[in-house]
Amino acid sequence: MGIGAFMGVMNMGLEFIEKIWKMIVDYSPGLKAVLELFEVAMQLFFVPIGTALMIEFLPIMIDLLANVTDVMGIMWDAYENDGFGAMMAVALNEALPLFFNAVISALNVMKDGPLGAIADTLIGIIEFIRDNGVELLQILLALTRHTLNIMTFLLTHLPILGAILGAMLGIQIAQLLAQVLPRDPITGTSITAPIALGVIAGTAVAGGVAGGIAQMSMAEGGMVPSTAGGQLRILGEGGEDEFVVPRSKAQGFAQNVLGGGGGTTNNFYITVPSTSEMTELIVNTIDRETNARRSRSTF
């Protein structure tokens, strides 16, 4: 039995137990009263702990609020003077450490109690993130950028990689067929059919990959139909700039960019059918729909 099936059985068992327990409590006033007394006892137990933590945490939160308010003004000044990038630099270097310091101060309150070991461990982790958070973020961004570059390289050079993989597959097929097919009765060597089949297989794989890439290439222009989740396309590989414009914005784009920003006269010619042609079209449409409905009603 797989882990998923085992967990499913366990969840069903727990849900069944919860339903049984709920029914017992609902139909047992005495048990319900006992449970309510237990909840009151738990509240009385946690009230002094919560009150003490409130007393310890309140000045920490007040300091955090005051410091964040000051840094917020610095962030806005950076945005107005140097733009969004400067504001984000202030947020990462000055604002974010304030929250880490507040959490560390709160954990220091717990260091003298029975949870001191856990508090020390958490403080060490948070201090590491606080002191190296910007560098870690830069590393993650660099990894993301390199990953995108690798994906771009693979998509651009996929025909070559497909040809190499196809050739390797062809060699493997040829070797396997050479062990199975009969040998030449005169020379004792394998007949050339395996090699031919291997070459055909490799060529087919390479051709299929190249065909897929050809469909993805937009160097000669084209239209990408609307698809849920989008589609992959290769752009900018034709040696010149390319435009990608949604259909709803194509007319304005053509007028503003390709037409030089105005002053362009567009002439549209529309062929209007005559009255007899329109009548014939309406009659044929009605007949076609009527016959289709009759065909469906016979089943």
Residues 181-233 pLDDT 10s: 555 555 555 555 555 555 555 555 555 555 555 556 666 667 777 776 666 66
* Same domain for 119 and 149: no
Q: Which range of residues forms the domain containing residue 44?
A: 10-131
* Same domain for 154 and 118: no
Q: Does a structural domain hold residue 299? A: no
Q: Does a structural domain hold residue 78? A: yes
* Same domain for 97 and 35: yes
- Is 60 exceeded by the pLDDT of residue 73? yes
In terms of residues, how long is the chain?
A: 299
CA 100, 103, 107 angle in degrees (round to 5)? 135
Number of domains observed in the structure of the chain: 2
Q: Which of 189, 215, 241 is the last residue of a domain?
A: 215
Q: Could you give the percent of the chain with pLDDT greater than 90?
A: 3
For residue 276, what pLDDT band results from cuts at 50, 70 and 90?
low
* Same domain for 102 and 149: no
Give the mean model confidence (pLDDT) for residues 64-80.
Answer: 90
* Same domain for 42 and 147: no
Q: Which of 97, 131, 165 is the last residue of a domain?
A: 131
Q: Does a structural domain hold residue 256? A: no
Question: Which of these ranges, 48-52, 271-275, 291-295, has the smallest mean pLDDT?
Answer: 271-275
b (16+ CB within 10 A) / e for 257-291: eeeeeeeeeeeeeeeeeeeeeeeeeeeeeeeeeee
Show the tokens assigned to 46. Answer: 């946690």
* Same domain for 173 and 124: no
Q: Does a structural domain hold residue 244? A: no
Question: Which of these ranges, 56-65, 87-96, 286-295, has the smallest mean pLDDT?
Answer: 286-295
* Same domain for 184 and 122: no
* Same domain for 122 and 100: yes
What is this structure's pTM? 0.41
In whole angstroms, give the CA distance from residue 6 to residue 166: 43
Q: Does a structural domain hold residue 252? A: no
* Same domain for 204 and 118: no
* Same domain for 203 and 94: no
Q: Which of 215, 250, 270 is the last residue of a domain?
A: 215
Q: Which tops the pLDDT comparison, 291 or 103?
A: 103
- Confirm if 123 and 108 have CB atoms less than 8 A apart: yes
Q: Does a structural domain hold residue 121? A: yes
* Same domain for 52 and 114: yes
Spatial neighbors of 128 by CB under 8 A, at least 6 apart, are none
* Same domain for 126 and 16: yes
Q: Does a structural domain hold residue 181? A: yes
- Is 60 exceeded by the pLDDT of residue 271? no
Q: Does a structural domain hold residue 200? A: yes
